[in-house]
Chain A
Amino acid sequence: MIDSILSLRSYNPVVKVLAPIPAMVVAGLSRDLWTPAALTVIALVMLLAFGRLRGRALLWTLAGPPLMVAVLTLSFGVWIDREKVGGWSGALEAGLATGLRVSAVLTLALIAGLTSEGTDLVRSMITHLRMPYRIGYAGFAAMRFVPRFRHDLEIIRLAHRVRGVSTGRGPVATTKRYSGYVVPLLAGAMRHGDRVSLAMEARGFGAYPARTERRRVPLRARDAVLALWLLLLCLVPTLPGVLG
């Protein structure tokens, strides 16, 4: 099922990350309402029809863009100098355009974000973009670091509170408190990093310029089609003229 040509998940993550970029630039630089609106709708349709989204991701994809457009339209409408844009309607229009531009860029980015695994992206970058595998795997190791870091910070805060470190409010007290966390946090992180790197080398990491990649992330004809389609989205601004 996951390999179905109708599922965005079966496409190469590098293509999904890189190919929408021109369209994102076009959306970001557009000055009209049509371009970002059309791009948002196209990206949303792609996600909803072929993204195989579930649960929270589905909910946010459905509710997120309209909500964001609404919030940005109103806030910009209030914030913008109404005299310069010709009163309320002008201000709201400028807000709407901004909201649509942001949501177009975001939904285009979500095509990759919601349908690929970070690890597959790294693997594909190693295979297809010739990124050195050392950099990719350093990234993997760093990702495993985050929860440990957070857990350590929690315990250090508790430990310092027990020792009677001031619990004062305000930026000065907070900065002082946090500066006390830095040494134990870094000491722990460096020691952990050291151990992880020793363990990796001990398992042959870096023995050869290449590794066996067990999970091949393929680059197929369908990826070329997807890339072409995403590049063609740059032509969206010219569509109203063509259609009359």
Chain B
Amino acid sequence: MSDALLRFTGVSVRHEVYDDAGDVGYGIPRPHEITAELRAGEVVLLLGPSGCGKSTLTLTANGLIPHVIGAKMDGTVTVAGAYTAGTTVPELARDVAMVFQDPDAQIVTASVLDEVCFGPENLLVPFAEVLERAEQALRLVGLWDRRDDDPGILSGGGRQRLAIACALALRTPVLVLDEPTANLDPAGVEEVYRTLRAVAAGRDRAVLLVEHNLDAAIEFVDRVIVLDGDGRVVLDGPARTILTDHVDELLTLGVWLPVATLAALRLRSVGVALDPLPLTPGELAAALDTVPALPPPRDTPRSTARSKAAIAVRGLTIRRGPVTVLDDITLDIGAGEFVAVAGANGAGKTTLAQALAGVTPSRKVTITGPAGFVFQNPEHQFLTNRVADELAYGTTDTARVEDLLTRLDLRELRDVHPFLLSGGQKRRLSVGAALVTRPRVLVLDEPTFGQDRARAAELLDLLDGLHRDGTTIVVVSHDMHLIAEYATRLLVLDGGRVLADRTPAEIYADPALLADTGLRPPPLARAARTLVRHPAWHTVTRLADLPVLEPSR
């Protein structure tokens, strides 16, 4: 086919690995022998379990692999007919534009307009056309009015929209996005996909997307390519067909599915068959309303007993310069609660979390028993050169260290340097370091930030286990699905005040509150609230609320 804009032919990538002597070798191929073509007007989503080489494949599209990143590439990649191996990365910028995960790591200049002009200027586009391209791109992402601002003062979603505008200004036939929303809050995710839908509406370019948040991406995608754990292509076809006809294969592979689809699968086990399988909250609601009668949702009693206070806060106010970060906060957190703290960027979430764990000591906060705190970036906490030493730091309880090594699945890695662990292992180790002292209260700041769904789920199962053993858990998070599934109580912060303090289900039923605070209900709650025929289901917010045959767990 001559109209393929991006073509992979037998592409395998082996990353450089260093052995103990410091010699370079090459690891196992991830991805493995990928052959695929993308044509104009297509939006293609790459799916696959963690570590199968999705991000790596995106880096071959503009020649970063093999030109810049130390890796060995077999096979060929052609962009608009030219081999990437025979051109340089900067020259390929005429044909392929990339949007990466971290918006902060893509900003070079000091103003929004300069930033968008940076790419075309590098390509020696004439002066007048640079401005014309910049204006068109900024208007499309809705940032033209902010062209003179410093990119640093934009919100997370705003900065990622800026990164998209920068990619658009290159006017390339191919656009590649690698987890563009992994670092964003719900409002930011929505902004980015609204923008991307507008971009794709032009139907003039090929888009390759890696995204774990399928609920956000699914309406934007035409075609899905699925890789297995070995990095090989196992499925390639229209998004809807792949996701509905091969749903069991995808589940076996460990690929995350849209929540609406997961809900439908769960209902199938109690005899409510929805055909075809819904992919979006809207489709789920429509499908449920065609069913004459539904079994009542499960009424799972939650431990909301607040008999003994684990943390008591009385009139806590924290000022930083002229800004009041926390404004007269009074609350009690009972022993054994799982509390989530949510709110827009800058609402004071991290400051409150640090006060609750005693990281920043205050007379206004009383904590019963030892407390542990887990920072957003695990690396910031590491102090030693070995995993086992990291857990043993500041304790003489060797039995506890051994127990944690087993529990966190880090036993084989006990002699490894903490910085050499994978992202998920680093996260487990940082939680373990906080658990050594057997805290009664564990506070975590954005524990799933920048992590994929598989790692996030792994961490949450760990937290859920601790919670069931009686540990009080406080989590700062943007992830509404996580909050809905696990938390027994949700604090919504806004401008340093607690705006709401109720169960997640009650808060998700309050659209005005959600809109005011930049939060979004999780997909399942969105579907349940719009049901016409089944008013009893309006309170459903989590998968665990759905009826099942046997009581689970």
**Inter-chain contacts of B462 with A (CB < 8 A):** none
- Name the residue in A148, A196, A203 with the highest tally of chain B Cβ atoms < 10 Å from its Cβ: A203
Q: Given A152-B380, A183-B419, does the pair A195, B120 have CB atoms closer than 8 Å?
A: no
| Complex contact B383–A160 (CB within 8 A) | yes
- Which A residue sits closest to B96, measured CB to CB? A202
Judged by a CB distance under 8 angstroms, whether A201 is at the interface is yes
Judged by a CB distance under 8 angstroms, whether B135 is at the interface is no
Q: Given A155-B375, A195-B100, A196-B106, does the pair A201, B68 have CB atoms closer than 8 Å?
A: yes
Judged by a CB distance under 8 angstroms, whether B108 is at the interface is yes
**Inter-chain contacts of B359 with A (CB < 8 A):** 158, 161-162
- Which B residue sits closest to A164, measured CB to CB? B394
As a 0/1 sequence over residues 205 to 243 of chain A, the CB contacts with chain B under 8 angstroms (1 = contact) are 111101111100000000000000000000000000000
| Complex contact B123–A198 (CB within 8 A) | no
Q: Tell which of A41-49, A88-96, A137-145 binds the partner.
A: A137-145
- Which A residue sits closest to B372, measured CB to CB? A162
Which of B93, B104, B109 is within 8 Å of A148, CB to CB? B104
Judged by a CB distance under 8 angstroms, whether A200 is at the interface is yes
Judged by a CB distance under 8 angstroms, whether A119 is at the interface is yes
Judged by a CB distance under 8 angstroms, whether B537 is at the interface is no
| Complex contact B89–A202 (CB within 8 A) | yes
Which of B100, B167, B383 is within 8 Å of A163, CB to CB? B383
| Complex contact A155–B377 (CB within 8 A) | yes
Judged by a CB distance under 8 angstroms, whether B433 is at the interface is yes
| Complex contact A214–B382 (CB within 8 A) | no
| Complex contact B93–A203 (CB within 8 A) | yes
| Complex contact B108–A211 (CB within 8 A) | no
Judged by a CB distance under 8 angstroms, whether A204 is at the interface is yes
| A203 and B176 alpha carbons, distance in the complex (Å) | 12
| A219 and B39 alpha carbons, distance in the complex (Å) | 48
Judged by a CB distance under 8 angstroms, whether B1 is at the interface is no
Q: Tell which of B76-84, B125-133, B256-264, B524-532 binds the partner.
A: B125-133
- Interface members, chain B 87-117 (any A CB < 8 Å): 88-91, 93-94, 96-98, 100, 102, 104-110, 114, 117
- Interface members, chain A 154-176 (any B CB < 8 Å): 155-156, 158-165
Judged by a CB distance under 8 angstroms, whether A113 is at the interface is no
Q: Given A188-B379, A211-B124, does the pair A206, B90 have CB atoms closer than 8 Å?
A: yes
Q: Given A141-B108, A155-B375, A212-B120, does the pair A202, B383 have CB atoms closer than 8 Å?
A: no
| Complex contact B93–A207 (CB within 8 A) | yes
| Complex contact B88–A207 (CB within 8 A) | yes
| Complex contact A144–B108 (CB within 8 A) | yes
Judged by a CB distance under 8 angstroms, whether B279 is at the interface is no
- Minimum distance in angstroms from A50 CB to a CB of chain B: 25
**Inter-chain contacts of A71 with B (CB < 8 A):** none
**Inter-chain contacts of A137 with B (CB < 8 A):** 108
| A198 and B90 alpha carbons, distance in the complex (Å) | 10
- Minimum distance in angstroms from A184 CB to a CB of chain B: 5
| A188 and B376 alpha carbons, distance in the complex (Å) | 13
Judged by a CB distance under 8 angstroms, whether B50 is at the interface is no
**Inter-chain contacts of A183 with B (CB < 8 A):** 382, 419
Judged by a CB distance under 8 angstroms, whether B471 is at the interface is no
| Complex contact A195–B105 (CB within 8 A) | yes
Number of interface residues, chain B, beta carbon within 8 A: 56
Judged by a CB distance under 8 angstroms, whether B62 is at the interface is yes
- Minimum distance in angstroms from B205 CB to a CB of chain A: 16
| A198 and B105 alpha carbons, distance in the complex (Å) | 9
| Complex contact A212–B68 (CB within 8 A) | no
- Minimum distance in angstroms from A241 CB to a CB of chain B: 49
| A147 and B152 alpha carbons, distance in the complex (Å) | 10
**Inter-chain contacts of A158 with B (CB < 8 A):** 354, 359-360, 375
**Inter-chain contacts of A155 with B (CB < 8 A):** 375, 377, 380
- Interface members, chain B 49-92 (any A CB < 8 Å): 62, 64, 68-69, 88-91
Q: Given A119-B110, A198-B100, A201-B90, does the pair A165, B375 have CB atoms closer than 8 Å?
A: no
| A141 and B151 alpha carbons, distance in the complex (Å) | 13
- Which B residue sits closest to A185, measured CB to CB? B380
**Inter-chain contacts of A140 with B (CB < 8 A):** 108-110
| Complex contact A211–B122 (CB within 8 A) | yes
Judged by a CB distance under 8 angstroms, whether A187 is at the interface is yes
Judged by a CB distance under 8 angstroms, whether B118 is at the interface is yes
Q: Given A180-B383, A204-B94, does the pair A162, B373 have CB atoms closer than 8 Å?
A: yes
A: residues with CB less than 8 A from B are 119, 137, 140-141, 143-144, 147-148, 152, 155-156, 158-165, 180, 183-184, 187-188, 192, 195-196, 198-208, 210-214
Given contacts A162-B359, A199-B106, A211-B121, 15 further A-B contacts (CB under 8 A): A143-B110, A144-B108, A159-B380, A163-B383, A163-B394, A184-B379, A184-B380, A188-B379, A201-B89, A203-B118, A203-B167, A205-B90, A210-B124, A212-B124, A212-B130
A/B interface sample: 24 pairs, CB < 8 A? A144-B110, A152-B380, A156-B380, A160-B381, A161-B359, A163-B381, A163-B383, A163-B393, A183-B382, A187-B379, A188-B380, A195-B102, A196-B105, A198-B68, A198-B69, A199-B98, A199-B105, A200-B108, A201-B90, A201-B93, A202-B64, A202-B97, A203-B122, A212-B126
